[in-house]
Structure 1
């Protein structure tokens, strides 16, 4: 059968499946009123969970690096138990979760665009984008459209408390707006250009800086660290572009301004590769504070934060600020020189991770225990 006929037949079959499933989105609070598929979240009583969250009961055959990836696996699987549930929900709105929910509601449109949707979900959650991928521009446009419209019409990520609402409740309004409108931009990005173009151009310009001689990138694969030395703070979608396969980023900006971050890749269960556990940063912060001569102090977030930062604190950042791009928050100057800071960070993690082999599917209890064992070993050296 010619390829074009085969593709046409597949599309007709998918349309029949799409019509037969007749799924609908329901707010998270209503998930127990009917059999419900839970995406990018966890909940007791779900008919099926499709999430990459650490410890989520996603069926082993459907595990994926992103929750949208698990949804796409489920749509291609031979009738996974629970996939026939008519309701779909999530307890928050973000790019990955939205793409997973939308794909369950529109499998006939989602599966032909699987590679693109996977790329967009990875960009949305891990902020990684392979600029050489022929679909990279399209994925970036989709994500920028989602981000821009969310900011314009609703509240920013992690901003629900500011409007005195719970995220699982308030995010339902975002799903209600985006679900019927996304297909048009997926199939023809030009329909959403007015919304996505400003952020898209900003990211592309920052990506050019990352790929230029102005930026130096050093990788330490034995500890999963990438050091990005670049003149100015940059948007995450550009900054984290060259960090795929790594879980920690040390950003060295001009003027001796720095940030260290554990990527979201170590908050979730990655399917594609093993990882090292997050470690508490008390000792590293104490070492840096002993060397710091400015009035500021090195501070850090806990290991269960979605993206823990270690940085010189001029003021306390809100969760919204920490999730926002580095070029949208103040980064004070340090007295520590870049090469010295890099040596301290690399030495700290080399010593700690020397006794911890990487693996998949860490529990939070195991991550905490690994941190305690690394502390004991170092204190006895």
Structure 2
């Protein structure tokens, strides 16, 4: 079956498979988005993973549609679309593509295998070429364009070129090496004596103490299986973040729902000295942050690595801050059990006082 990539706006003009997105009128949806109508047997932690499952089940209803689309460009969605267009190569490199998609979305890189190393190279190549030739993730509105329209140019450029770098990573070294080396150095810091991790598995939290802000791929590397990260940097600088693992429907494990962070922010603001105040993003954001605010961050800045944005010093000591965060989530999750496939309505309800799940 030969597929054609088409712009998202044209999906109703022909039977179309929608990847890493969802839409009415799709012949088939292959997405890990919360509530997406992905067939149960094809559900996976990543959208690309669902595509790869579908390629091994050719009788899947809707898979014979001639067109494929997505409403945005990111690593997971791109790998999924590319895999449909080049199925033989995709299945030949299935394990590597799965790791690449996971790394692109969940940002957890430990570098413990050759495959993980290759996945980092591919992700860094995609990141570098995307920023150099087009615009950064979530940057379309700055160009006064809609992402579902602007991303078509990215797909059209990357789709015919990805196979060469997949099969011969050295061909893309000039693009991927700078970020790759930056992540390698940061990962060494995460493994070193200056970094300490404290796990609270009952609430899905990892506290990372490390001297300075680091790239996400390294910072989140050892946090697999957890969904909330409290980063504590020297000088009483902090950020709390819900990982993207709580925005999607994970197939591999149950998870707790996101809780709104306004109560925690209010509690911290009672203790915080001027001039900064604790601010928070809503629970439907892809990666909500709780942090001391100066100038409000754009979505592009919030998605960028922590070492690429200002993180302000707090008047609250590390131990007090950690205790407040742990107590907030322990109380919030006291009556809630982890499970798969939360709806957004259920997540909002779980954040109400006295809720149980």
What TM-score comes out, normalization by structure 2 length?
0.99
1:48-93 C-alpha deviation (Å, 9 max, x unpaired): 0000000000000000000000000000114100111110000000
**For residue 4 of structure 1, what is the aligned residue in structure 2?**
none
**For residue 25 of structure 2, what is the aligned residue in structure 1?**
45
Confirm whether residue 247 of structure 1 aligns to residue 217 of structure 2. Answer: no
Distance 1:292 1:153 in 2: 42
Confirm whether residue 288 of structure 1 aligns to residue 265 of structure 2. Answer: no
1:194-252 C-alpha deviation (Å, 9 max, x unpaired): 00000000000000000111100110000000000000000000000011110000000
Confirm whether residue 158 of structure 1 aligns to residue 175 of structure 2. Answer: no
**For residue 337 of structure 2, what is the aligned residue in structure 1?**
357
Match of 1:319 among 278, 282, 299: 299
CA deviation after TM superposition for structure 1 residue 293, in Å: 1.1
CA contact (8 A) 2:8 2:69 kept: yes
CA deviation after TM superposition for structure 1 residue 131, in Å: 1.8
Distance 2:233 2:34 in 1: 32
CA contact (8 A) 2:110 2:187 kept: no
Segment of structure 1 superposing worse, 130-139 or 208-217: 130-139
1:314-373 C-alpha deviation (Å, 9 max, x unpaired): 110000000000000000100111111001000110011010001100000000111014
| Structure of greater Rg | 1
In structure 1, stretches of 5+ residues that fail to align are 1-20
Confirm whether residue 22 of structure 1 aligns to residue 5 of structure 2. Answer: no
Confirm whether residue 121 of structure 1 aligns to residue 116 of structure 2. Answer: no
Confirm whether residue 36 of structure 1 aligns to residue 16 of structure 2. Answer: yes
Distance 1:159 1:98 in 2: 17
CA contact (8 A) 2:110 2:218 kept: no
CA contact (8 A) 2:256 2:339 kept: yes
CA deviation after TM superposition for structure 1 residue 170, in Å: 0.2
CA contact (8 A) 1:251 1:259 kept: yes
**For residue 110 of structure 1, what is the aligned residue in structure 2?**
90
Q: Secondary structure at the match of 2:202?
A: coil
> Structure 1: which 4+ aligned runs deviate by more than 4 Å?
none
Confirm whether residue 142 of structure 1 aligns to residue 146 of structure 2. Answer: no
Confirm whether residue 180 of structure 1 aligns to residue 167 of structure 2. Answer: no
**For residue 216 of structure 2, what is the aligned residue in structure 1?**
236
Confirm whether residue 342 of structure 1 aligns to residue 322 of structure 2. Answer: yes
RMSD over equivalenced CA pairs, Å: 0.9
Distance 2:56 2:318 in 1: 48
Question: Equivalent residues in 2 for 1:169-208 (5 A)?
Answer: 169-208=149-188
**For residue 8 of structure 1, what is the aligned residue in structure 2?**
none
CA deviation after TM superposition for structure 1 residue 136, in Å: 1.1
Distance 1:220 1:72 in 2: 33
CA contact (8 A) 1:75 1:104 kept: yes
Q: Secondary structure at the match of 2:282?
A: coil
**For residue 77 of structure 2, what is the aligned residue in structure 1?**
97
What TM-score comes out, normalization by structure 1 length?
0.92
CA deviation after TM superposition for structure 1 residue 134, in Å: 2.5
In structure 2, stretches of 5+ residues that fail to align are none
**For residue 312 of structure 2, what is the aligned residue in structure 1?**
332
Aligned length: 356
1:125-152 C-alpha deviation (Å, 9 max, x unpaired): 0001232123111000000000000000
Match of 1:272 among 225, 238, 252: 252
Distance 2:167 2:345 in 1: 44
CA contact (8 A) 1:294 1:334 kept: no
Distance 1:290 1:135 in 2: 47
